[in-house]
A and B are shown apart, each in its own frame.
Chain A
Amino acid sequence: MEVDSIPQQTQEKAAQIDSADLVVGLFAGLNQQNISLLYEGLRALPGSLRIVVLQSDPAGNKATQNSLSAEGNSSLSVLPWSNVIPDLAGGPMQSISVACRSLFATTEKMGARGCCLVASEMEGEMPQWVCQLVQPLLESDFDLVVPYYAPRKLQGLLNNSIVYPLTRSLYGMQIHNPLGPDVGVSRRLAQKMLGNNRNANAGSSQSHPLASLTPAAVCDNLQICQVHVGARIYPPTDWVNMSSLLAQVLSPIFIEMERYAPCWQRTRGTVSFPARGEPVSPSQETGTLDMNRMVETFQLGVRDLQEIWGLVLPPATLFELKKLSRLATDQINMPDELWARIVYDFALAHRLRTINRDHLLLSMTPLYLTWVVSYARELDGAGATAVEKRIERLALAYEAVKPYFISRWRWPDRFNP
């Protein structure tokens, strides 16, 4: 039952509220000032909306059920989101998954028109971008509103290197941040996600709601909208858990690829996808580039992980990697086609269960870091427009290699490495 996804305390408080037009899940650890600003922004939304805010409480901000309707058109009720906390033992992806399920279940239970997950902090003022995510749901009946974070050179690297170009080449839509995590979702799509979740629980694979949103919306021809929301503040890199984070992100994407294989195999080319709102210029990135560690990890991988990569990658790719590892640290440059091919080969090995799936995804870390090194070196000193062009070039490489992937997907035995 999807109601099980709603925390007990939230259910008790929600029982006092009949219905709502919009449910907002406040998952990001915001300070009291930003929360107040957000409430003001939501109350100022056009139309007499009944808004319910689910507020997790990582910063110790008190969230008791109260109706706030001092100023503005809409009434706003705040409910505690008790067992949804950003730092569950399973990692951040697991926490967001729990939050999404709970948010979708609450949306369905209250018969709301849509919901919005606020999982990030942005540079700039708080309420504007949340309202921008919500408005297309309420005013234009969009089913999925995804953010278009202002592109930054060395941030959101996993999205830039794999998630965006892979999703774009597979599903043919230029959605820049398909995994959100800040998203607006219509009731129709939320219901579909809950249905998917039930099916996934019945089967063996556990899907992730955020990874399912874009494929489900594209393949079911739902209305999708992309909104410029500013520059997201990314959490600092935890190098010790870097590989498990990579696995946590990629695993649900690869699982969705299996589920929607008939859909993406039919898709040819990509559709340009204009974003609403005005693009925001991000602030200047600071920090010292130290890529020696990443290069060393790659060289170690080439030396020690051959037996694993040999089961996944074709000999030509292995040969290319060996050649790369022999280059001097400042000359290592992974071609986009090679990287795209590697990602596709890992996706296929994930599907075929060539080796244990955790081992497979964890062993991808040195290759990913090599791509990061190549990318960072290429963009060293470049401006914001160069970032977009660079990511566009990578996405085109993914599209060019897609026929190879489709062939391997359809006839894996013919292409055994």
Chain B
Amino acid sequence: MWDQVKQALDQSTTKFLTEIAHLLPGVVALVVALLISSVLAWILAIVVRRLLTSIHFDEQLNRWGFASLEEWSPMNSPTRLVSRTTAFLVVIAGFLIGIAAFDAESTSLLVRSVFAYIPNIVGAILVLLVGSLVASFLARSVLIGAVNLNLHYARLLSAGVKWLVIVLAVAMALEHLKIAPSIVDLAFGILFGGIVLTLVLAVALNSKELVTKSLDRNAKETPNENIEEPFRHV
């Protein structure tokens, strides 16, 4: 009986060691892939950072209307955000390559589905970028136009327009990522409607005095035939 136990132990040990030996190259490959991708990521991050610094990327972003990106960036530098994101993507790619080395059959499905998802991610990022650009542009247009028309709630209008466009862009991006599409649809409807309602309420109730003042002023400024405007500009 002792022999049988010993034999069973030997078999299980052999099986375990065989499994380990079978896995070891994969683990080593994973570690090597991670190491190489980390080094590559580090180098790429430095290159990207220097490149962006040389073209004054942070200042350019400010000019393009992405000032809020600074708040989201490490050390308030969008350049660092971009370089670190690039490095992170390279490490993730290395990790996926390493995982694929374990067992081609079981992991290739995972890797394939991850890579198949990448176009969705890229599409969503593009939608967000364009949405953000459009939101900034429209917000500025509304702000300047409202100030020039002497509207006291210019900033409120501008912020409302900006958030409407951003909410629309985020909803489109989530739809693109196929993340809980039905919930996103519902949430978008509620949020979009909520923003419009908030704007209406803000103008109608909270900004009642502002609006009254504005309307009063406009009424006073209604061209009076007896009063001649003396200013001629062009």
- Taking Cβ atoms with an 8 Å cutoff, the residues of A that contact B are 92, 154-159, 234-237, 240, 242-243, 245-246, 249, 285-290, 293, 296-297, 300-301, 303-305, 307-308, 311, 354-356, 359, 362-363, 365-366, 372, 376, 416
Contact = CB atoms under 8 A, between A and B. Distances in A.
Given A304-B147, A308-B140, 6 more contacts: A243-B145, A249-B234, A300-B152, A301-B147, A304-B155, A416-B59
B221 interface: yes
A359 B231 CA distance: 24
B7 interface: no
Nearest to B151: A300
A311 B230 contact: no
Given A304-B143, A356-B140, A366-B147, A157 B228 contact: no
Which size bracket describes the interface of B in this complex? 20 to 34
B205 to A, nearest CB: 22
17 contacts: A157-B231, A157-B232, A157-B233, A234-B233, A235-B232, A240-B149, A243-B144, A287-B227, A287-B230, A288-B230, A293-B221, A297-B150, A304-B143, A305-B144, A354-B63, A362-B144, A372-B231
B34 to A, nearest CB: 41
B229 A308 contact: no
A237 B150 contact: no
Given A300-B154, A359-B140, A359-B141, A156 B232 contact: yes
B147 A287 contact: no
Given A287-B228, A300-B147, A311 B62 contact: yes
Contact of A158 (B148, B155, B233): B233
**Of B62, B150, B155, most A-chain CB atoms within 10 Å:** B150
B230 A234 contact: no
Contacts of B234: 92, 156, 158-159, 234-235, 245, 249
B150 A296 contact: yes
Interface of B: 59, 62-63, 65, 67, 137, 140-141, 143-145, 147-152, 154-155, 158, 217, 221, 227-234
A56 B149 CA distance: 33
State the 5 A-B residue pairs at the shortest beta-carbon distance, nearest first. Answer: A287-B230, A234-B232, A155-B232, A287-B228, A243-B148
Nearest to A416: B59
B67 to A, nearest CB: 7
B231 A237 contact: yes
Nearest to B56: A413
B154 A304 contact: yes
Contacts of B63: 311, 354-355
A294 B233 CA distance: 13
Contacts of A158: 233-234
Contacts of A296: 150
B126 to A, nearest CB: 21
Contacts of B137: 356
A300 to B, nearest CB: 5
Contacts of A240: 149
A362 B145 contact: yes
A230 B209 CA distance: 48
A285 B232 CA distance: 11
A150 to B, nearest CB: 13
A288 B234 CA distance: 19
Given A293-B221, A300-B152, A305 B232 contact: no
A105 B128 CA distance: 48
A84 to B, nearest CB: 19
**Of B143, B144, B228, most A-chain CB atoms within 10 Å:** B144
B50 to A, nearest CB: 18
Contacts of A245: 233-234
Contacts of A416: 59
Contact of B227 (A237, A288, A363, A366): A288
A18 to B, nearest CB: 38
Given A307-B67, A308-B140, A293 B150 contact: yes
Contacts of B229: 236-237, 287
Contacts of B233: 156-158, 234, 237, 242, 245-246, 372
A289 B230 contact: yes
B152 A376 contact: no
Nearest to B62: A311
Given A156-B232, A356-B137, A359-B140, A297 B227 contact: no
**Of B145, B152, B154, B231, most A-chain CB atoms within 10 Å:** B231
A236 B59 CA distance: 41
B231 A376 contact: yes
Contacts of A289: 230
Contact of A300 (B59, B150, B221, B232): B150
A416 B150 CA distance: 30
Contacts of B232: 154-157, 234-237
B220 to A, nearest CB: 9
